[in-house]
Amino acid sequence: MAKRIGLVVKEDLSARKKAAELEARLKAKGVGSVRKKASPQGRRDPRRPKERAPGDLTCVFALGGDGTFLSAVRWIENQEIPVLGVKFGQVGFLAEASEESLFRMADAIIRDGFETKRRMALSVRVIREGREIRRETVLNDIVINKGAIARLAHIRTDIDDHYVTDYRADGLIVSTPTGSTAYSLAAGGPVVHPGVQGIIITPICPFTLTNRPLIIPDSSRILIRLAKKSSDIMLSFDGQSGMKIDERDRILASKSRRPVYMIQTPGQKYFDILKTKLRWSGGAVQP
């Protein structure tokens, strides 16, 4: 079967130009391509059906940053299609390949000379009055956030059918280890290596200082509910889309049965990306 590669491209001049060069290069090698513009964060209308990547794609290149990578993951939607993030601009945790290495990686993929790593995703369901009104798969996180003028959110949290606590906070983040370096980190959560089998729950500006980030097994099932008369509360999925929620809603989050497959960049190490992104000082330790 002839290869076909998907391209998800950031609305950026340099990314678009490089995508056009890549399409021409692939065509010259007899490889087809499908291009999609990365979705602006938070702009997708949930009433419109999702676009879904063709199932025959060999892989998907996400040309942009971490947001573009997450847009590509949503496009794939639980299909076992590997993704390569190619960064344009600032260093990202997901878009780890460089613009300069793009053509080299493309040639390797055409020759089937690549490896993948599995990243855990979360399956999220929103139940309202006994009926499922939303189902999403996220690679990074879900975020419950109050509006600018809303009071503290009261967020009841159960784990494995056992009541844990009511968070009084500006919001709550439930993230995968991959997402631990995203919004959760900014909210004071821990950096968790992607190989750790866990889920991170991080309150945003909690009213009680003893409400600290919590790491639980990835086998856990999380149930989140809001207090009565809650208003101006949003639930977002990977920062890509969102919806208003209230006390009628039950948010259920658990490990997805399908991981996300990320194409590995040869020689790229997780801790090197971490050091660069977080601007950690220090060089190699000499023996």
Torsion region of 245: left, alpha or beta (phi above 0 gives left; psi -120 to 50 gives alpha): beta
Which positions make up the binding site? Answer: 66-67, 140-141, 151, 168, 170, 240
Q: What pLDDT, on a 0 to 100 scale, did the predictor assign at position 48?
A: 59
Give yes or no: 112 in active site: no
Q: What pLDDT, on a 0 to 100 scale, did the predictor assign at position 88?
A: 85
Q: Which one is catalytic: 12, 45, 56, 66?
A: 66
pLDDT higher than threshold 50 for residue 42: no
Q: Which CATH class is domain 4-119+259-278?
A: alpha beta
With bands split at pLDDT 50, 70 and 90, how would you rate the model's confidence at 201?
very high
pLDDT tens digits for 16-25?
999 999 999 9
- Cβ burial 219-243 (10 Å sphere, 16+ → b, else e): eeebbbbbeeebeebbbbbbbbbbe
Domain boundaries along the sequence of the chain: 4-119+259-278, 122-255
pLDDT higher than threshold 70 for residue 11: yes
Same CATH fold assignment for domains 4-119+259-278 and 122-255: no
pLDDT tens digits for 49-70?
678 999 999 999 999 999 999 9
Place of tokens 């513009």: 37
Which positions make up the binding site for NAD(+)? Answer: 66-67, 140-141, 151, 168, 170, 240
DSSP H or E segment with residue 68: helix 66-76
Rg (CA), the chain: 20
Q: Which CATH class is domain 122-255?
A: mainly beta
pLDDT higher than threshold 80 for residue 28: yes
List all residues 6 or more positions away from 19 whose beta carbon is below 8 Å from its beta carbon. Answer: 7, 9, 35, 63
State the pTM of this model: 0.91
